[in-house]
């Protein structure tokens, strides 16, 4: 999921092992699995092979028997042919990006002697069912669903077990963060025969219609900023009125354009909407990536970026001074490296590796996540109107979202029958609002990480890690050992 509309989301040395082509397991229809070894050195010095699997386009119907090449990253340098398979359920973006941001798996693979697999989600990265035409229309997009993605993961695992020597009887543990975390949890729920357990990090599986109040996401965002500084939160709370006032003054739009170094000038009150929503996105993204050390997850940023941003707003500010303060926040978010010429306010900014387009479509079909705000916190008044969303979806994709499908399909809060899932959440992360924060049973366990941001626990260990995240990772390792029958 990317930013306000979407979501959600470490590293890999290398010896180019060329995996031998092997017969496919699928009965009746021989597919030639393309397994191309590609060198891919990563900063950590880890390495993987980039491989492709001929994946069924449609798992749930029989009219279309075509396949596409699903990319996955394969790292067996830690595997002693006895250890488990750790499987990352890819989310909405190119898989290397998630691999680059899931250092936890690389950190723990040696102690588990684990085989690592990162599977790309269909319709993202290079895993395009209809190539360049995958996003053409609602017919080509029709196979972009979480159910198809889970079936991809399950069939890929069956294929790997059938073809990788010594893999057949090894237990598989699923890992994912954000939407990938939702998929990891749902994977265990739907395919307990395939995975022994799942670590679902920052997985907002309850961010859907009817499960939590629509204000929850922005309430948590506000909380994170108010925690950093009350004065800072109050400044942000007042700022929207201030923006409108300053804009209404003579030369007001030019002042805002110049102060924020906007790429396109603000010209009228109609531009204020998208401009302010850019600010809201900045605040939610900063809360998401409020890591204790400098990171470049969604943007290049200093450690504790929310506190850093609040250092520009630590005094009660008004009028143009307040806007200058805000511009230092956007400057930090968009321009920490000092190489950004101007700030986009009309939707052209953002993280290019995240599949905005794909997630937008998923939001217009299955992933209906109501979000609203009554303006009492740092976010202005935002209404949630399903009909409007549905109409906008129809105009764009000729699809209408099914508001209540996910809750039926994936059990909503009725998780008592599930087992072996860890739901971890960083409590600074706005997405924790839709997460499972209390344990459901002995084996469906919630881990809260105070002062934690979006799936901080999945990131590579860092000297600046808080004791809370260190403790969370230890607990996760012990639970996973339990699933694998290893003594903690």
**Which residues belong to the active site?**
178, 429, 454
Q: By CB under 6 A, is residue 97 in contact with ligand NAG?
A: yes
Q: Which residues of 230-259 are buried (b: 16+ CB within 10 A; e: fewer)?
A: eebbbbbbebbebbeebbeeeebbebbbeb
CB 125 within 8 A of CB 94: yes
Among 92, 120, 152, 219, binds ligand NAG (CB under 6 A): 219
Among 32, 64, 80, 374, binds ligand NAG (CB under 6 A): 374
**Min dist. Cβ of residue 475 to ligand NAG (A):** 28
Number of residues that bind ligand NAG (CB under 6 A): 27
Cα separation, 388 vs 337, in Å, equals 39
Among 23, 133, 249, 321, binds ligand NAG (CB under 6 A): 133
Instruction: Name, in order, each residue with C-beta under 8 angstroms of 438's C-beta and a sequence gap of 6 or more.
Output: 446
- Contact characters 137-166, ligand NAG, x per CB under 6 A: x-xx--------------------------
**Min dist. Cβ of residue 94 to ligand NAG (A):** 5
Instruction: Name, in order, each residue with C-beta under 8 angstroms of 20's C-beta and a sequence gap of 6 or more.
Output: none
User: Where does this chain touch ligand NAG (CB under 6 A) — which range of 95-103, 149-157, 283-291, 471-479?
Assistant: 95-103
> Whose Cβ is closer to ligand NAG: residue 163's or residue 363's?
363
> Whose Cβ is closer to ligand NAG: residue 28's or residue 338's?
338
Q: By CB under 6 A, is residue 132 in contact with ligand NAG?
A: no
CB 76 within 8 A of CB 115: yes
- Contact characters 318-357, ligand NAG, x per CB under 6 A: -------------x---x--x-x-xx--xxx----x----
> Whose Cβ is closer to ligand NAG: residue 221's or residue 420's?
221
Q: By CB under 6 A, is residue 32 in contact with ligand NAG?
A: no
User: Where does this chain touch ligand NAG (CB under 6 A) — which range of 91-99, 156-164, 277-285, 287-295?
Assistant: 91-99
Strands 381-382, 373-374: pairing kind: antiparallel
> Whose Cβ is closer to ligand NAG: residue 112's or residue 218's?
218
**Min dist. Cβ of residue 442 to ligand NAG (A):** 32
**Min dist. Cβ of residue 30 to ligand NAG (A):** 27
Cα separation, 277 vs 345, in Å, equals 8
Instruction: Name, in order, each residue with C-beta under 8 angstroms of 154's C-beta and a sequence gap of 6 or more.
Output: 187, 191, 194
How is 32-56 classified by DSSP, letter by letter?
Answer: -----------TTS---EEEEEEEE
> Whose Cβ is closer to ligand NAG: residue 375's or residue 450's?
375
> Whose Cβ is closer to ligand NAG: residue 142's or residue 443's?
142
> Whose Cβ is closer to ligand NAG: residue 96's or residue 360's?
96
User: Where does this chain touch ligand NAG (CB under 6 A) — which range of 92-100, 167-175, 242-250, 364-372?
Assistant: 92-100
User: Where does this chain touch ligand NAG (CB under 6 A) — which range of 50-58, 69-77, 108-116, 134-142?
Assistant: 134-142
Q: Tell me the backbone φ, ψ of residue 482, rounded to 5 degrees.
A: -60, -45
CB 175 within 8 A of CB 421: no
On the 0-12 / 13-18 / 19+ scale of CB atoms within 10 A, 18 is: exposed
> Whose Cβ is closer to ligand NAG: residue 357's or residue 409's?
357
- Contact characters 239-278, ligand NAG, x per CB under 6 A: ----------------------x--x--------------
> Whose Cβ is closer to ligand NAG: residue 300's or residue 409's?
300
Cα separation, 84 vs 465, in Å, equals 27
**Min dist. Cβ of residue 421 to ligand NAG (A):** 28
Which residue, among 391, 382, 446, 384, has the nearest Cα to 413 in the 3D structure? 446
CB 166 within 8 A of CB 132: no
Tokens of 20: 């031998």
Distances (CA, A) of 286 to 216, 260, 280, 282, 382: 17, 17, 10, 6, 19
How is 182-211 classified by DSSP, letter by letter?
Answer: HHHHHHHHH-TTT-SEEEEET--TT-STTT
**Would you give the distance in Å from CA 265 to the centre of its chain?**
32
User: Where does this chain touch ligand NAG (CB under 6 A) — which range of 94-102, 245-253, 385-393, 424-432?
Assistant: 94-102
**Min dist. Cβ of residue 181 to ligand NAG (A):** 19
**Min dist. Cβ of residue 371 to ligand NAG (A):** 12
Positions 165 through 204 that interact with ligand NAG (CB under 6 A): none
Cα separation, 397 vs 325, in Å, equals 39
Instruction: Kindly list the residues in this chain that would bind ligand NAG in the complex (CB under 6 A).
Output: 42-43, 94, 96-97, 100, 133, 136-137, 139-140, 215, 219, 261, 264, 331, 335, 338, 340, 342-343, 346-348, 353, 374, 376
């Amino acid at each position: 999921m990317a930013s306000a509309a979407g979501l959600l989301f470490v590293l890999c040395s290398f010896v180019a092992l060329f995996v031998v082509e092997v017969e496919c397991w699928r009965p009746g229809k021989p597919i030639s699995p393309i397994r191309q070894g590609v060198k891919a050195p990563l900063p950590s010095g880890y390495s993987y092979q980039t491989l492709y699997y001929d994946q069924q386009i449609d798992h749930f119907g029989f009219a279309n028997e075509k396949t596409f090449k699903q990319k996955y990253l394969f790292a067996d340098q830690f595997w002693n042919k006895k250890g488990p398979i750790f499987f990352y359920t890819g989310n909405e973006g190119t898989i290397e990006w998630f691999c680059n941001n899931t250092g936890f798996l690389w950190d723990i693979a040696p102690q588990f002697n684990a085989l690592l697999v990162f599977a790309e989600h269909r319709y993202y990265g290079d895993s395009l069912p209809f190539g360049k035409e995958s996003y053409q229309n609602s017919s080509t997009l029709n196979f972009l669903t979480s159910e198809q993605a889970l079936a991809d993961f399950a069939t890929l695992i069956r294929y790997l077990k059938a073809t990788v020597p010594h893999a057949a009887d090894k237990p598989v543990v699923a890992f994912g963060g954000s939407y990938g975390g939702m998929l990891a949890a749902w994977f265990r729920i739907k395919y307990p025969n395939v995975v022994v357990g799942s670590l679902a990090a920052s997985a907002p599986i309850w961010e859907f219609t009817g499960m939590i109040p629509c204000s929850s996401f922005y309430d948590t965002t506000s909380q994170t900023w108010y925690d950093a500084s009350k004065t800072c939160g109050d400044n942000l709370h007042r700022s929207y009125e201030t923006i409108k006032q300053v804009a209404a003054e003579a030369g007001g739009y030019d002042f805002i354009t110049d102060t924020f170094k906007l790429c396109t000038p603000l010209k009228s009150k109609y531009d204020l909407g998208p401009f302010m929503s850019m600010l809201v996105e900045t605040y939610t993204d900063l809360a998401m990536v409020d890591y204790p050390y400098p990171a470049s997850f969604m943007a290049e940023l200093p450690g504790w970026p929310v506190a850093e941003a609040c250092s520009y707003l630590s005094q009660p500010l008004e009028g143009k001074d307040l806007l200058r303060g805000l511009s230092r926040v956007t400057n930090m978010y968009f321009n920490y490296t000092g190489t950004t010429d101007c700030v986009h306010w009309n939707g052209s900014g953002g993280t290019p590796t995240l599949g905005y387009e794909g997630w937008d479509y998923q939001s217009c079909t299955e992933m209906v996540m109501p979000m609203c705000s009554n303006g009492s916190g740092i976010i202005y008044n935002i209404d949630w109107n399903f009909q409007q969303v549905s109409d906008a979806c129809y105009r764009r994709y000729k699809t209408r979202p099914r508001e209540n499908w996910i809750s039926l399909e994936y059990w909503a809060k009725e998780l008592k029958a599930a087992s072996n899932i860890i739901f971890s959440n960083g409590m600074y992360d706005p997405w924790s609002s839709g997460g499972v924060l209390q344990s459901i049973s002995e084996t469906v366990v919630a881990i809260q990480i105070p002062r934690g941001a979006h799936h901080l626990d999945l990131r590579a260990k860092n000297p600046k890690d808080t004791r809370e995240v260190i403790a969370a990772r230890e607990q996760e390792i012990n639970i996973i050992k339990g699933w694998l029958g290893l003594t903690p």
